[in-house]
Amino acid sequence: MLLILYTAAAFAMSDFPNAVADELGMPCTATCDLCHSSSSGGGTPTQAFGLAMMDRGLTADSSTIAGALDLMVADAVDSDGDGLIDTEELARGRNPNGGADYCAAGESGPTYGCLSTTGGARGGLLVAALGLGLLLRRRR
């Protein structure tokens, strides 16, 4: 009695920002606000970059991302009119929709894991050790 179901487009679209970042070699990870009004995404794209991507064939199918980006380059789309095309702005960590640098003023985006990052595991263990040390001391 296997039921035939299909997956919500929104599920796959949560991967879109990182797909764009990978395609363009962005110096940080991307989030939904590249195309949507909020960082959590949802609804039809409202940002200039997202609208331009849709005009060039972007759909809910992630396989359309690369083609749309190629057309963005071919058409030299410059959404915020600052003289640098959108794809080049993203590759440099800048915001194609205007405003501040996308990658947090030149800072790299978050990294995950504690084996190759600064202070990760050591910081957590330090908090745990300090907390327990305080407890033991008070208990005596």
Partner 1 sequence: MPRTCTGWTRQGPAAAASLAALAGGAILLGSPPAAAYPAMIRHGYTGCAECHTDPSGGGVLTEYGRGQGVILLASQYGERASGWEPPDSKDFLFGALPLPEQLALQADIRALLIPQPGNMRVLAMQNDLRGSVDAGVFHANGSIGWVSEGAEKAWITSNTDGGGNLVSREHWLGIEPVDDLYIRAGRLNLPFGIRSEEHVLLTRSATVTDTNDGQQTGLDVVWQVGKVRAELMGIAGNFQVSPDAYRERGYSGTVAWGPKSTLELGASSKYTHAVTDIEARMERIRAFHEVHGRWAPLRALALLSEAGMSYDSTGGVNSVGTFGYLQADLEPVQGFHVKGTAELCDDDLGDDAAMVGRGWLALQWFAVTHFDLRADAWYGTLYCTPGTEPSFMGLLQAHAYL
**Contacting residues toward partner 1, per CB under 8 A:** 1-11, 14, 31-33, 38-44, 102-104, 107-121, 123-124, 127-132, 135-136, 138-139
Return d(Cα 8, Cα 4) in angstroms, integer. Answer: 13
The residue (of 83 and 113) whose beta carbon lies closer to partner 1 is 113
Q: How far apart are CA 120 and CA 132, in angstroms?
A: 19
Q: Which is nearer to partner 1, 34 or 72 (CB)?
A: 34
20's CB contacts (< 8 A; 6+ apart) are 26, 30, 34, 65, 69, 90
Residues 74, 34: Cα–Cα separation, whole Å: 20
Least distance (Å) between residue 134 CB and partner 1: 9
Please name which of 11, 6, 20, 128 lies closest in space to residue 66, comparing C-alpha atoms: 20
Q: How far is the CB of 74 from partner 1 (least distance, A)?
A: 29
Q: Which is nearer to partner 1, 43 or 81 (CB)?
A: 43
Taking the complex as a whole, how short is the minimal distance between the CB of residue 16 and partner 1, in angstroms? 13
d(CA 18, CA 119): 25
CB of 76 to partner 1, least distance (A): 26
CB nearer to partner 1: give 66 or 104.
104
